[in-house]
Amino acid sequence: MAELLRVERLRAGYGEAVVIDGVSLGLGAGETLALLGRNGTGKTTLINTLAGATRQHGGSIMLNGAALHTLAPHQRAAAGIGWVPQERNIFKSLTVHENLSAVARPGKWTPEGVYRMFPRLAERRGNLGNQLSGGEQQMLAVGRALVLNPQLLLLDEPLEGLAPILVEELLRAIRRITREERLAAIIVEQHPQAILAISDRAVVLDHGTVVHAGTARQLRDAPELLERLLGVSR
């Protein structure tokens, strides 16, 4: 499988502080990576570093063999990074449809395709961003990343704070995007089982370094390892 993403000895943080220290990982085209770790271990910092939103101190990020780490955030979006930050980055004063059409780039994913994936958004296409529920905002944030027609989707805790029924709905959509449409993705999650079930690979961070890397299945089938790494057994 052709390699899509290659991260080598990445060091990054905020100002002089180094949070991510010596992270290396790779991802093949069409693969999904579950990025796990307890609170404050650097998951968001790593995702944000891939998107260009932190201070990088060292190392390299290559997408399809081209350097990403030298590019500004908007250039990374153009190069194929679709980022859904932990704090949902929708425009609150624009409608659902304006949110999608303002950032859409030519390709397979269109606002209409997003509405088919999330019928709730279709019903609310004229509503302003600040008139949406948390779950609808999360769907819109995912939709905004999709209409960029990225090569790599970065989802930072897409299920956080959602009611169980919305968790199911969003998980189904993410599974469709990653498993059926084979869009490569890195998904950060606190509740590992649901994400491990739809991922190919898994990386666990602790104190800004990789403490485990392997297949998602290996981690799913090893509850005691999961417990030791994350303090959870489900």
Ligand X SMILES: Nc1ncnc2c1ncn2[C@@H]1O[C@H](COP(=O)(O)OP(=O)(O)OP(=O)(O)O)[C@@H](O)[C@H]1O
99 binds, among Mg ion, ligand X, none (CB under 5 to 8 A by kind): none
Q: How far is the CB of 78 from Mg ion (least distance, A)?
A: 25
Near ligand X by CB under 6 A: residue from 9, 14, 105, 223: 14
Contacts of 77 (CB under 8 A, 6+ apart): 83, 148, 150
Per-position x/- string for 84-123, each x denoting binding to ligand X as judged by CB under 6 A, each - no binding: --x-------------------------------------
Give CA–CA dist 114/223, Å, rounded. Answer: 36
Q: Which stretch binds ligand X (CB under 6 A): 21-29, 32-40, 74-82, 113-121?
A: 32-40
- Of 17 and 67, nearer to ligand X (C-beta) is 17
Give CA–CA dist 109/182, Å, rounded. Answer: 13
Name the strand (E) or helix (H) holding 202.
Answer: strand 201-206
Q: How far is the CB of 15 from ligand X (least distance, A)?
A: 7
Near ligand X by CB under 6 A: residue from 32, 44, 137, 199: 44
Structural contact between residues 194 and 160, judged by C-beta atoms closer than 8 angstroms? no
Q: How far is the CB of 160 from ligand X (least distance, A)?
A: 8
Give CA–CA dist 186/150, Å, rounded. Answer: 12
- Of 85 and 113, nearer to ligand X (C-beta) is 85
In the DSSP assignment, the letter for residue 71 is: S
Residue 54 binding Mg ion, by CB under 5 A:
no
Residue 45 binding Mg ion, by CB under 5 A:
no
Residue among 109, 33, 23, 106 at smallest CA distance from 69: 23
Near Mg ion by CB under 5 A: residue from 44, 137, 178, 199: 44
Q: DSSP characters for 4-51? A: EEEEEEEEEEETTEEEEEEEEEEEETT-EEEEE-STTSSHHHHHHHHH
Residue 32 binding Mg ion, by CB under 5 A:
no
Residue 48 binding Mg ion, by CB under 5 A:
no
Give CA–CA dist 124/234, Å, rounded. Answer: 35
- Of 44 and 99, nearer to ligand X (C-beta) is 44
Residue ranges in contact with ligand X by CB under 6 A: 14, 17, 19, 37, 39-45, 86
